[in-house]
Amino acid sequence: MRFTLNDNPVDVSAPPMKRLLDVLREECGLTGTKEGCGEGECGACTVLVDGIAVVSCLVPFAQVDGSSVKTIEGLGDNHALQHHFMNEAGAQCGICTPGMIMVASTLPTDASLEEIRVALAGNLCRCTGYEAIYRAIQKANEQAAQ
């Protein structure tokens, strides 16, 4: 199956109904995408498919044939969201962080707090009460707007 993974064309052989999450972690060695529930409820496994946030635990591999997939690794290690998740302690245990950042990366930089809250409603965090996550995203947006 050919698709674009983090801006690079790849050809990966895996069963067509294998979950995209498992393909990324097992066949592609990208373990930044985490499994929290396996039922699309927690958002930890969020990646972007053709720019749209999806939970990779609910995507059959066959459906990304020809698509562009972006994972947390595709943001590199110098993204404003990453820095502010660190600095604002938006990451505590860190297991929800990649999914949170992937959703946040789809938001406009002028997103209001309410828009951020609605966008993240499909991402569960048990550590932060979400407040530090909002702060991190708002700081990153402020930086991007400058």
Partner 1 sequence: MPAVGTSVARKDGIGKATGATKYADDITFPGMLHGRTIRSTIPCGRIKNIRLDFDTTGFTVVDYRDIPASGRNVVALIEDDQPFLVETDIRHLAEPILLLAHENREALLNANVVIEYEEQPPELDLEHSATVLKALAIDKGNVDAGFASADVIVEGTYRTGHQEHVYIETNGIIADPENGGIAVHGSIQCPFYVQKALKSLLGKDAYTRVVQTETGGGFGGKEEYPSMIAGHATLLALKSGRPVKIIYDRTEDMVATTKRHPSIVRHRTGVTRDGTLVAMDVDIILDGGAYITLSPVVLSRGGIHAAGPYRCENTRIRGKAMFTNTPPNGAFRGFGAPQTLFAVEAHMDRVAEAVGMDPVAFREHNALVPGDTTATGQVLTGDTSALEVLREAVRRSDFLRKRAEYTGTNKGIGLALFYHGSGFTGSGELRLASKAKLELTKTGVRILVSSTEIGQGTRTMHAQIVADTLDMPYELVEVAQPDTQRVPDSGPTVASRTCMVVGRILQRCAEEMKEKLGVLTPAEYFAKYGALEILKEHEPPAWIQWNEDTYSGDAYATYAWGCDVAEVEIDRDTYEVRPLKITAVQEFGTAIHPGLARGQIEGGTAQGLGYALLERVVMSNGGMSNATLTNYTIPTTLDTPEMDIAILDNPYEDGPFGAKGLGELPIDGPAPAVINAIRHLAIDVREIPATPEIILSACALR
Partner 2 sequence: MRSATSPLTIATPRTLDDALSMLRDTPLVPIAGATDLYVGLNFGTLASQHFMDLTRIDALRGIDVRDETLVIGAGTTFTALMQSVTVQTRLPMLVQASSQVGGVQIQNRGTLGGNIANGSPAGDSLPVLAASDAILVLRSASDERRVPFTSFYTGYRTSVLRADELIVAVEVPSVVGTQWFRKVGTRAAQAISKLVIAAVRSDAPRIAIGSVAATTIRLPRTEAALASGASIDDAVNTLEAEITPIDDVRSSADYRRQVAGNLLRRFWADTA
Site string for partner 2, 122-141 (x = CB under 8 A): xxx-----------------
Residue 17, interface with partner 2 (CB under 8 A)? yes
Quote the least distance from Cβ 65 to partner 1, whole Å. Answer: 22
Quote the least distance from Cβ 110 to partner 1, whole Å. Answer: 19
Residue 2 or 126 having the CB closest to partner 1:
126
Quote the least distance from Cβ 127 to partner 2, whole Å. Answer: 18
Quote the least distance from Cβ 93 to partner 2, whole Å. Answer: 20
In the block, tokens 């459906």 appear at 63
Helix (H) / strand (E) element for 81: namely helix 80-87
Size of the chain, expressed as the number of residues it contains: 146
Query: Using CA atoms, how far apart are residues 127 and 58, in angstroms rounded to an integer?
Result: 24
Residue 28, interface with partner 2 (CB under 8 A)? no
In terms of C-beta distances under 8 Å and separation of at least 24 residues, what long-range contacts does 65-70 make, across chains too? 65/1, 65/2, 65/3, 66/2, 66/3, 67/3, 67/4, 68/3, 68/4, 68/7, 69/3, 69/4, 69/5, 69/6, 69/20, 69/24, 70/6, 70/7, 70/102
Residue 32 or 60 having the CB closest to partner 2:
60
Residue 98, interface with partner 2 (CB under 8 A)? no
Residue numbers at the binding site for partner 2 (CB under 8 A): 15-19, 22, 38-41, 43, 46, 52-55, 57-60, 62-63, 65, 103, 118-124
